[in-house]
Amino acid sequence: MASSCCLLNQIRNQSVFIRATNCLWLLTLLLVYAPQKPKPTFEEVSPATSKITWKHDNAQSPDRQLPETVGAGCAFLDYDNDGWMDIYFVNSGPSDFFTPTAPLKNALYRNNHDGTFTDVTDKAGVAGGKFGMGVAAADYDGDGNIDLYITNYGSNILYRNNSNGTFTDVTDKAGVTAPGWSTCATWFDYDNDAKLDLFVSSFVFYDKSQNPLCTDPTLKQRYYCVPRLFKPQPSRLFHNNGDGTFQDVSRESGIAGSPGKSFGAVATDVNNDGLMDLFVANDTMPNFLFLNKGGGKFEEIGLAAGVAYGEAGRPRSGMGVDAADFDGDGWQDLFVANIDQEFFSLYHNDKELIFTDQPGEIAPATQLLSGWGLKFFDYDNDGDPDLFLVNGHPDDMIETRVPRVRHREPLLLFENTGRNFKDVSASSGPVFTKMFSGRGMALGDFDNDGDADVLTSNNGEPPLLLRNQGGNRNNWIGLQLIATKSNPAAVGATITWQAGMLKRSRLKTGGGSYLSSHDPREILGVGIATKIDYVEIRWPSGKIDKLTNPPLNSYVKVVEGSGIKK
């Protein structure tokens, strides 16, 4: 009796095993034969379609003044709070070395909700009028309206949004003029006082008398000098006083102690201590990693962290930067785009404030390129951050001097493979076969279809608006975070979401890319999952909002402390 029982158990167990094996086999078959969703592509939206006719004028002169080749940036922002991303472009303008023959303007384009845009620059009063570089959009005064900070060669401009479609230049009153040559600006809250502070990258000390003669004897023509020839300048940190004014805390914070030739900057938390740090790319100088020590102090730790120099101890030409936890280990990794022959860097965060440059497939793909605008984002809504790179050599005559390096360069798209990235540019649309003099790059869902689109600004060329076609084939949820106790941009918030087996986390960083500003909303991809179990937002204030079974494939407003706003 006992033996027959065992036998039966054995048979039962065996059949269970066989069933399980069969199931696995069936699952394998399904995985193999299940129709793969086509990957998203990026489609150029022509000026005829978008009605965006603005073009960047780089003011290129025979003297090859350096600021001519550096700009400019662009932004996605919702200036009129209608829930649709508008667009801002920065242009050159009058300066000590340039007098435009016709007026040059920055441009604000209002989103008409139908794929077209209308130029509202003059009505809004945000034309700039200086030799423009970059833009950073954020609600610095917490009044619910997005304001604009424009960096320039000369001095900067803060436009306060009047909430009626117009802006007022409040630069002097706010105390954020920052004379000199500013490049990237980053809004973030370094002291967690719920107000947005402002970091402004400074490039070299420059005026028209500082332009050395850099020529090619065979061409008898000047070319743009390498920034190595110019003196570095300290960047600036402005503390938001909460009354519409700012205090320059560059010196006391430690930021001014490290003069640089700074371009891209991103605010992130590299050691998970709840304080936002700053990673700043420098051109021909070591990069800076400003570790936020608390109490309003920063310590520059780039060397020890291993992110300052190239592998031979040679400073590289860092331009665009970004930060994200690309491998899902809970630690923020860093990315810097450098000039040709220097390879771009993907710095993996090894914890304990040590990084290792592990660019993988990105390195050979970027050996001959010079990178500016770039952003980690989930282009296919599978839940992990991919990477988009905008490239272009700063020297328009480089092709006469360096073989295989071109002035106009292609865009690149890398898909996250879990531990690294794969170049998918070739299969992501014809636009990746074209060449551009790329500089700025902004990210935003301008058609509100649930996948992130791309806007690039090109030096001396028209901008490029790219519609993400098919990123929303995977499921998603879009969050508009409305802070009540934290800084208005919710920079520093950590968003965690789970949909079945897929669990992801994302830190809301500040800045990133080059001279550009992004859609503040967060699109959380969940792949093929048809239900999101929860979304949790850990606000910089420490408050936590957990959304259970939130709606799929739509944008929701999440108010700090009270969850989804109906």
Partner 1 sequence: MKRNSSNSHKKAHKAHKGEALLLLCLLFLVCLFVIPARAQSTDVVQAFEQVAALIRDDRLAEADKELTKVLRLQPDLPVALNLMGSVRAKQGRLAEAESLFLRAVQNDKNFTGARMNLVYLYLLKRAPDKAIAQLNEVLALEPANLEAKVLMGDAYLAKNDLQKAEENYLAALDNKLDNAGALFGLAQISRVKGEQREVAIYLNRVGTLIADSTAPDFLYKFALEAMQVGLFDAAKSALERAVSLKPKEPSYLLALGIAWLRKTDLFEAEKLFRRVLVLEPTNAQAQLHLGYVLLNQKKYAEARTWLEKSSRTSAPIPEVFYYLGLVAQEQNNDAGAIVLFEKAVRQLPSYAHARIALGSSYMKLKNYVRARQELETAVKLDPNEPTAHYNLALLYARIKEPERAKEELRIIDQLKAKGASNNGVVVLPPKSNP
Q: Which residues bind partner 1 (CB under 8 A)?
A: 301, 303-304, 306, 309-314, 341-343, 354, 356, 358-359, 363-364, 367, 403-404
Least spacing, CB of residue 229 vs partner 1, in Å: 14
Least spacing, CB of residue 293 vs partner 1, in Å: 15
Euclidean distance between CA atoms 396 and 399, whole angstroms: 8
Nearer to partner 1, 172 or 311 (CB): 311
> What values do phi and psi take at 422, rounded to 5?
-125, 135
DSSP string for residues in 202-233: E-----GGG----EETTTTEE-PPPGGGS--B
Nearer to partner 1, 213 or 312 (CB): 312
Nearer to partner 1, 256 or 368 (CB): 368
Nearer to partner 1, 341 or 549 (CB): 341
Buried b (16+ CB within 10 A) or exposed e, 153-176: bbbbbbbbbeeeeebebbbeebbb
Alpha carbon distances (Å) from 286 to 16, 261, 306: 62, 9, 10
- Please, are residues 337 and 319 in contact by the beta-carbon 8 Å criterion? yes
Least spacing, CB of residue 308 vs partner 1, in Å: 9
Residue type, 223: Y
Least spacing, CB of residue 361 vs partner 1, in Å: 9
Nearer to partner 1, 302 or 492 (CB): 302
Largest Cα span, the chain:
104
- Please, are residues 308 and 325 in contact by the beta-carbon 8 Å criterion? no
Nearer to partner 1, 103 or 364 (CB): 364
**Measured in whole angstroms, how far is the alpha carbon of residue 153 from the centre of its chain?**
22
Nearer to partner 1, 368 or 556 (CB): 368
Least spacing, CB of residue 499 vs partner 1, in Å: 30
Least spacing, CB of residue 44 vs partner 1, in Å: 30
Euclidean distance between CA atoms 88 and 447, whole angstroms: 16
Nearer to partner 1, 103 or 257 (CB): 257
Tokens of 125: 């009063």
- Please, are residues 511 and 201 in contact by the beta-carbon 8 Å criterion? no
Beta strands in 48-146 (DSSP E): 74-77, 86-89, 107-111, 117-119, 131-138
* Exposure of 507 in the CB half-sphere (CA atoms within 13 A): 31
Least spacing, CB of residue 513 vs partner 1, in Å: 24
Least spacing, CB of residue 387 vs partner 1, in Å: 16
Least spacing, CB of residue 405 vs partner 1, in Å: 11
- Please, are residues 116 and 81 in contact by the beta-carbon 8 Å criterion? no
Measured distance between the N- and C-terminal CA atoms of the chain, rounded to whole angstroms: 66
Q: Determine how β-strand 475-482 pairs with β-strand 555-559.
A: parallel
Euclidean distance between CA atoms 214 and 221, whole angstroms: 8
> What values do phi and psi take at 536, rounded to 5?
-120, 130
Residue with tokens 């491998």: 327
Nearer to partner 1, 270 or 442 (CB): 270
Length of the chain counted residue by residue? 566
Nearer to partner 1, 354 or 556 (CB): 354
Nearer to partner 1, 236 or 316 (CB): 316
Q: Quick one: DSSP state of residue 36?
A: P
Nearer to partner 1, 306 or 444 (CB): 306
Nearer to partner 1, 214 or 354 (CB): 354
- Please, are residues 44 and 52 in contact by the beta-carbon 8 Å criterion? no
Euclidean distance between CA atoms 38 and 33, whole angstroms: 14
Least spacing, CB of residue 303 vs partner 1, in Å: 5
What is the chain's percent helix, strand, coil content, to nearest 5? 15, 35, 50
Least spacing, CB of residue 238 vs partner 1, in Å: 28
Least spacing, CB of residue 70 vs partner 1, in Å: 23
Least spacing, CB of residue 547 vs partner 1, in Å: 37
